[in-house]
Amino acid sequence: MASLTTDVAERTRIFRSLVPFFGTVQSSGFFQKTAATIPGIERIHHLIEGVYKPAWSVYPLSISSMLKSRYNDQVFFNPDRTWWMHYSPKAGAMNIGVNAALVLCMTAHQPILVLRQVSDKVSAEGSRHRLLGLGFVENLDAEANLFRIRGLEWSEVSGLLGIGLSDDLIETALRLESLEQWVPFVAEDRAVYQISRQKRDAAFRSIVMANYGHTCAVTGQKFHSPHHVEADGAHIIGKEVRGTDDPRNGVALSKSAHWAFDRGIFTISDQYEIVVNPKVSSASVANFPAIELDRRKILLPDDSYYFPHPDALAWHKAERFDRFSV
> Is residue 326 assigned to a domain?
no
Same domain (yes/no): 97, 246: no
- Of 27-41, 224-238, 239-253, the range with the lowest mean pLDDT is 224-238
Whichever domain contains 113, its CATH number is 2.30.280
Q: What is the pLDDT of residue 1?
A: 46
Give the residue-averaged pLDDT of 260-287: 94
Give the CA count within 13 Å in the CB-facing half-sphere of 181.
Answer: 10
Question: What does pTM read for this prediction?
Answer: 0.89
Same domain (yes/no): 183, 285: yes
Using an 8 Å Cβ cutoff, are 217 and 223 in contact? no
Give the residue-averaged pLDDT of 265-286: 93
Same domain (yes/no): 251, 138: no
Q: With 90 as the cut, is the pLDDT of residue 173 above it?
A: yes
Q: What CA–CA distance (Å, rounded) separates 275 from 257?
A: 13
Q: How many CB atoms lie within 10 A of CB 272?
A: 16
Alpha helices in 154-196 (DSSP H): 154-161, 170-177
Q: What is the pLDDT of residue 95?
A: 66
* pLDDT (tens digit per residue) in 3-26: 888 999 999 999 999 999 999 999
Q: What CA–CA distance (Å, rounded) separates 201 from 117?
A: 30
* pLDDT (tens digit per residue) in 186-202: 988 888 999 999 999 99
Q: What CA–CA distance (Å, rounded) separates 19 from 41?
A: 13
Domain endpoint, select from 137, 164, 191: 164
Number of folded domains that form the chain: 2
- Of 80-84, 131-135, 215-219, the range with the lowest mean pLDDT is 80-84
Which pLDDT band holds residue 57 (cuts at 50, 70, 90)?
A: very high
- Domain extent at residue 24: 2-164
> Is residue 275 assigned to a domain?
yes
Residue 150: in which H helix or E strand, if any? strand 146-151
